[in-house]
Amino acid sequence: MLQPPASPSFTHQIDLSSECSKIDKVSLYCGRAEITRSYKIDVKTGRNQIKISKLPSLLDDDSLRVEGRGPATIIGVAVARPPASTTATASPILSSLEDLREVTQKAIARCTKAISSIESYLVTLDTKTVGSQQIGPMMDTYETEAEKLDLRLLKLEAELNELNKRIEQERALRAAAQRRDSLLGKTATIDLFVDAEGQVELVLIYAVVQATWSAVYDLRANISSDTNTVNLVYKAAITQSTGESWDDVSLTLETVTPTFGVGLPRLDPWRVGVYKPVPRFATRKVGMASRGPLMASSGYELYSEDLALDKELSPEIVHRETIVTNQGHLSTSFQVPGFISVPTDGEVHTVTVVELRLDAAMAWISIPKVQPKIQIKAKIKNASNFPLLQGIASVYVDGTFVSKTTVPEVSPQESFDCSLGFDPSIRMTYHPLSKKASESGFYNKSSSITYSQHITVYNTKNIIIKDLTIIDQVPISEDAQVTIKLVNPALPPPPAASSSAISSIKSVSKSEKLPPPIKVADNVMAQWDGVDDPEGDKSAIGREGRLAWKCTLPPQSKINLTLVWEVSAAANVTISGL
């Protein structure tokens, strides 16, 4: 067993930077990421102190652990942020550009002064002192020299503008570099005791925040064919601002964020008693109960034990000081195919996780009284081994983007409902409501009004629509003086309503059976809405007067639906709400 020397001095010190290594692997959770870096380091016999700088400032100090292989023992691991430097480092490129700008500015000033001097000299000329024969040559000389100076001034100004742009770019680059340096401000110090000179491999594993991913989907359905499947493209929207770019890394997406230090909560006794009012003359001091200090656990436990290298068993480096994390429940991991690059820019970067072909039961449904359009619903079964996380899905029907919807959390072999938007190829007409009034009786006169609602549905597709549901309603009575009777379709009253008034509610007993659907036309069945829902509240069927037609619509065919109901009351009763 190796024993560290008694002397505390280090025989060898190695300074490295995170830029000297490449990120091998990233495990990305929701809100944090676990980074794996590896180094191959030449060490000498005895004590070695290895300092790795430019690690992320967002690094969780307690999460750092070091693994490796080689003839060495890890004495200790520490993470620190070095003090900020008060002296700014000069940029040779920026200094050179600023010097060149100053020279150019002086040249512009000289050129401007020369032009001004020539123009001032021309103002002082007088025909009394200059002969007329000299004016022509002097003006030619002025034009020539002034043109040269103007061209030089234009060139110098263009050079100055270009220098200003380059200086601004260099300053922006320096500011970005300073921001990167501020984001990479931690240093890890690893103390090794080496038995024999050689090379060791160290692997740094640490957690950082400001990195997350969420599920997004592309849901593609082809309703122009009779296939009962949809394509679900499972994607990950990744953002990270950790300070270090992930270039060509192996990326694993974790569906559950690890939790630390979570235990079963305590259920305190729930006590009740007789209220005793406080006398008015008595005073009391109201305050909060005394509580002890609240300690937040990071979920990591630090311990130290003497572990040394056994050459006959394993060549792995042994930790004398290590960090241990609590193990949580299992989560599903997605290994993204290939290698992924995600810059540290805080922008959303999308990668495809997997493409699934899932079975889907298509259904068309409409409530034309509210909106005379046919909506497509799909009940999709997640027959894969992948859990679906909650996320936004872009819905494409027959290759065209139609809407966005939310995919809930779905376990394997579980089904979920998804809206696929409206189907314009099925046309619907909700005709105006018609009514007819009549009276009966000699002494006790009563009046009745018969209402008729017609609905037309036309399938322009070349495929059959096997599951089309049209939902409408008849009014419900809130007064015993008003009776409402459903005439067409002739559905028997549901258990939730009496035969005289749909609004007379009674509960459904186990012996009562729900009224079955009735056939009203070829490929059309009528029923109370909710009768075929195995998970619905059977006692609520008929309470709100909703009924449904279940239709099968052949290609290029049309159906006509009719809803007729009668409202009866005494002749002197005024009915409201119709």
Give me the DSSP letters along 349-414. EEEEEEEEEEEEEEEEEEETTTEEEEEEEEEEE--SSSPBPSEEEEEEETTEEEEEEEE--B-TT-
Contact call for residues 33 and 25 (beta carbons, < 8 A): no
- The CA distance from 415 to 363, in Å, is 15
If phi > 0 it is left, if psi is from -120 to 50 it is alpha, else beta; for residue 130 that is beta
- The CA distance from 179 to 345, in Å, is 12
Of 468, 379, 375, 457, the closest CA to residue 422 belongs to 375
Domain boundaries in the chain? 93-181, 210-255+331-424, 427-570
In sequence order, which residues have a C-beta less than 8 Å from that of residue 561 and are 6 or more positions away?
A: 454, 455, 456, 457, 470, 520, 524, 549
- The CA distance from 127 to 135, in Å, is 9
In sequence order, which residues have a C-beta less than 8 Å from that of residue 24 and are 6 or more positions away?
A: 36, 37, 38, 203, 249, 250
| 3 state SS of 502 | coil
Tell me, what DSSP letter sits at residue 269?
Answer: -
- The CA distance from 548 to 541, in Å, is 12
- Neighbouring C-beta atoms of residue 54, cutoff 10 Å: 19
Token pair for residue 304? 């130290």
Tens-digit pLDDT string for the chain (578 aa): 445 544 445 678 888 887 788 899 999 998 899 999 999 888 888 899 989 988 998 898 888 999 888 888 888 888 887 666 555 566 788 888 888 988 889 888 888 888 888 877 777 766 666 666 666 677 777 788 888 888 888 988 898 999 899 888 888 888 777 776 677 888 999 998 888 888 889 999 999 999 999 999 999 988 877 677 899 999 999 999 998 899 999 999 988 765 555 567 788 888 887 877 766 543 333 333 333 332 333 333 322 333 233 333 234 444 433 223 333 334 678 888 889 899 988 899 999 988 999 999 889 999 999 999 999 999 999 988 888 999 999 999 888 898 888 999 998 999 999 888 888 889 999 999 998 988 776 666 788 889 999 999 999 988 889 899 999 999 988 888 888 889 999 888 876 554 434 433 333 444 457 788 899 998 999 999 888 877 767 777 878 889 999 999 999 999 999 999 998 888 777 777 77
- The CA distance from 250 to 256, in Å, is 19
SS (H, E, C) 427-474: EEEECCCEEEEEEECCCCCEEEEEEEEEEEEEECCCCCEEEEEEEEEC
The whole-number pLDDT of residue 128 equals 63
The whole-number pLDDT of residue 130 equals 64
- The CA distance from 149 to 179, in Å, is 44
- Neighbouring C-beta atoms of residue 302, cutoff 10 Å: 9
| 3 state SS of 569 | strand
In sequence order, which residues have a C-beta less than 8 Å from that of residue 474 and are 6 or more positions away?
A: 484, 486, 502, 545, 547, 563, 565
As a whole number of angstroms, the longest Cα–Cα distance in the chain is 135
Angle at 475 between CA 471 and CA 478, to 5 degrees: 140
Tell me, what DSSP letter sits at residue 210?
Answer: S
pTM (whole model) above 0.85: no
Q: How far is CA 245 from CA 59, 65, 81, 190, 359, in A?
A: 14, 21, 20, 24, 39
| 3 state SS of 425 | coil
Contact call for residues 393 and 403 (beta carbons, < 8 A): no
First to last CA, the chain: 95
Q: Which ranges in 13-131 belong to alpha helices (H)?
A: 92-124
